[in-house]
Copies of this chain bind each other. A is one copy, B any other.
């Protein structure tokens, strides 16, 4: 299964008074990873998708397991794989690992494609579908 990965240093602004990643911040990081994946390997243009084509990718289901803490200053690897591509949904398997391979947390996330005019689901656009199929191989 193809994985898209980017390194990330845990920032001061990611962390809470306990000195570890404030957990909602993982989802902000993963949203950035999703953008980088759509902009990069998929070559679709995330901002163009949202701002010009008015297509959204809201989350409808999320399952997250937190295994070990990430501390301020840690270097981690964020990665993403496609678990399932449905007619109107994309299921991603996301991971945050330390650079020496310790799993910090893992997420299964189901996104749907929507019209940002109506917030109703629509079919995954053909170009996005094709790009995801080529990525997933």
Contact = CB atoms under 8 A, between A and B. Distances in A.
Contacts of A66: 58-62
A16 interface: yes
A50 B119 contact: no
A72 B51 contact: yes
A133 interface: no
Given A72-B17, A73-B47, A31 B11 contact: yes
Contacts of A99: none
Interface residue SS majority, chain A? mixed
A21 to B, nearest CB: 10
B27 A23 contact: yes
Interface in A52-77: 56, 58-66, 69, 71-73
Contact of A12 (B12, B19, B35, B116): B35
Contacts of A69: 58, 119
Nearest to A36: B9
Contact of A18 (B9, B32, B56): B56
The residue among A9, A13, A15, A17 with the most chain B CB atoms within 10 A of its own CB is A17
